[in-house]
Every structure is written in C-alpha cells, then in structure tokens.
Amino acid sequence: MHGIAASQPYVIAFFLLWAGLMKLLSRRMRAQAGRTALARLSGPARAVPALRLVGLGELAVAAALLLPPLHLLDAVAAALLSAGFLVYLAYASVAAPASSCGCLGTHSRPVDVRAFARAGLLLAAALLTALGTRPAAPGAGAPGTVTGVQAGLEAGVKAGVKAADGLAAPVPAVIVLEVIVLLALSAELDRYWLTPLRRLLVRLRRPLAAPPQERVPLEASLHLLRRSPAYCSAAAGLTSDVLETWDEDGMRFVVYGARDRTAVFAVPLSGDDPGAVRVALVAEPPLSGSPA
C-alpha cells in the first residue's frame, strides 16, 4: 500500500506532463482551442493563452511532483488541480455540451463519463499521495514533526499498509493496472487501440455478413431508376413519391403520381443499365378525389 501511495506522484506527473506538453507544443491543439469548452469559459480570443496557462500550470505541478523531496504541498497542488479538472468538466458538460474538453489532446468528442472517471481517478491518486506524504516541517519544526491530524492520517495509512501487506498485493501490478485504466479512459487514444480492436472484432465476427437476399431491395431499384434517362425526362412532372410497386416477369414496376396523371416505370430487376428503364405517363388520376 505504501508502495502504491509512493508511486502515485509519478503516475499523476506522467499524465500532467502529457497534458501540459500537448497544450504547449501541439499546433493542432492550438488550432482547435476555439472549439474546446475552455474557449467558452475564457472567450474565443483568449482560448490559446488560457490553454497555454493551464499547460504551464500542469507542467509546474508535474515538475514539483517529480523533483525530490516530495512535499505535502505538491500533493495538495495536484489534488487541487485534479479537483479543478472535475469542476471544469462539470462546467463543460453543462455550458458547452457539444465542445470537447481539450484535456490531453485533440479530439472532437464532447465530455463524457470517461473524462469524469479519469479526472476522478487522478484526484483519488493525488489524495492518496497527500495522505502518504510526510510534511516537510516548515521553519523551526524538526523534520518528522507531525500535527495531530497528520498523525491520524499516517496511522490510517499505516493500518492500510498492514492490511494491504496481508493481502500481499503485487504493487507493480496494481500500478500498471492503474495506468492502463487511465489510458483506457482517455478518448484521445481510442484511435490507437479501440478502433483497431473493434475493426479486428468485426473482421473476425463479420456481424453484417447477411445471407444473400433473394429479393432485390426496393432502394436498389430506385437508385437505378433515378439515374435513368426515363426518370430524368419525367421527373419534373412527378408530384408524389412511390405510390405502389410490384415485381412481374423480371421487372419491377414503380408507380408515381404526376398531377392528374400516373407515371409508371419498369425497372429491370437484374443488371444495372439505367437505359433499360422504361416509363409511360397514363391519363389516370392518381389522386382519386383530387382537390387539384
């Protein structure tokens, strides 16, 4: 347990470094800054400076977490930043539900439950760090001096450590799992693993490979019909969509209304030559009881 708490600063710092560097260095991210919820918060004109400021803040906290010694304030700063992320995500989902969050990279998807889960997990990691950090005593206080509250927290952590030791949880495995979960919750990375995985599953399972249809779908005949010279010559006179259709002798008959007449088309069921479509205008009113 203590190992897990001790490793949290590095996990948080990794994600903050990634987020900060993307915000400061990615040209694409700057180009898309106007479409993030941050632009809504700061105004479109200040979206890029705001993005840079957040990036700098993230890098500063990441540096503080990575550079020893680890101070309680570092962990508190990380926790505050993570809590700020959560508040920002809540704002984004209410005020700009169509905007992306602009957290870790460029993607156009709006804030969803995964973004909240990732920010929540980072906050939990930051709190774990804060609980596991011995405060460097300020001023005259000797190193190791603890306040009552901190003593209580430490006792709790130690109890947790003992309990975890009893379970003999493999610390590296837990940390790897945590990083994997955080990465899996990052919609920015979906195209690298989720999309290929889904493509592979589709290739293996072939969900849409339906048995060959005996009947030609009507839409297929209509597509051929609409490209035919016969339809083009009659289209200006048609007033209704398809009224009736039936198949007979390898042909599909399609009936349209044409004001006080009826247009009937014969579309071959096989072949895709639009020139084979035939049409006749019949002096039979399609609208019986027509008001026209």
Residue 147 sits in the site that holds other proteins (CB under 8 A):
no
Specify the residue, 41 or 276, whose C-beta has the smaller distance to other proteins. 276
| Least Cβ distance, residue 256 to other proteins (angstroms) | 7
Tokens of 144: 């190791």
Q: Considering only residues 179-218, where is the footprint of other proteins by CB under 8 A? A: 191, 195, 198-199, 202, 205-210, 212-213, 215-218
| Least Cβ distance, residue 39 to other proteins (angstroms) | 16
| Least Cβ distance, residue 161 to other proteins (angstroms) | 42
| Least Cβ distance, residue 258 to other proteins (angstroms) | 7
Residue 281 sits in the site that holds other proteins (CB under 8 A):
yes
Candidate list 58, 264, 269, 270; residue touching other proteins; CB under 8 A: 264
Residue 241 sits in the site that holds other proteins (CB under 8 A):
yes
| Least Cβ distance, residue 292 to other proteins (angstroms) | 5
Size of interface with other proteins, in residues (CB under 8 A): 72
Specify the residue, 7 or 106, whose C-beta has the smaller distance to other proteins. 106
Distance CA 55, CA 48 (A): 10
Other CB atoms closer than 10 Å to residue 256's CB: what's the count?
24
Distance CA 19, CA 25 (A): 10
Candidate list 57, 179, 240, 268; residue touching other proteins; CB under 8 A: 240
Distance CA 258, CA 240 (A): 7
Residue 104 sits in the site that holds other proteins (CB under 8 A):
no
Beta bridge partners of 262: 257, 282
| Least Cβ distance, residue 112 to other proteins (angstroms) | 8
Binding mask 106-125 for other proteins (x = CB under 8 A): --xxx---------------
Q: Considering only residues 59-98, where is the footprint of other proteins by CB under 8 A? A: 98
Distance CA 75, CA 65 (A): 7
In this structure, are residues 58 and 52 in contact, taking their beta carbons and an 8 Å threshold?
no
Distance CA 179, CA 4 (A): 12
Q: Please classify residue 95 by burial: count the beta carbons closer than 10 Å to its beta carbon, then call 0-12 exposed, 13-18 middle and 19+ buried.
A: exposed
Residue 159 sits in the site that holds other proteins (CB under 8 A):
no
| Least Cβ distance, residue 47 to other proteins (angstroms) | 19
In this structure, are residues 12 and 122 in contact, taking their beta carbons and an 8 Å threshold?
yes
Candidate list 9, 55, 132, 286; residue touching other proteins; CB under 8 A: 286
Specify the residue, 56 or 98, whose C-beta has the smaller distance to other proteins. 98
Distance CA 273, CA 267 (A): 10
* SS3 per-residue string spanning 229-270: HHHHHHHHHCCCCEEEEEEECCEEEEEEEECCEEEEEEEECC
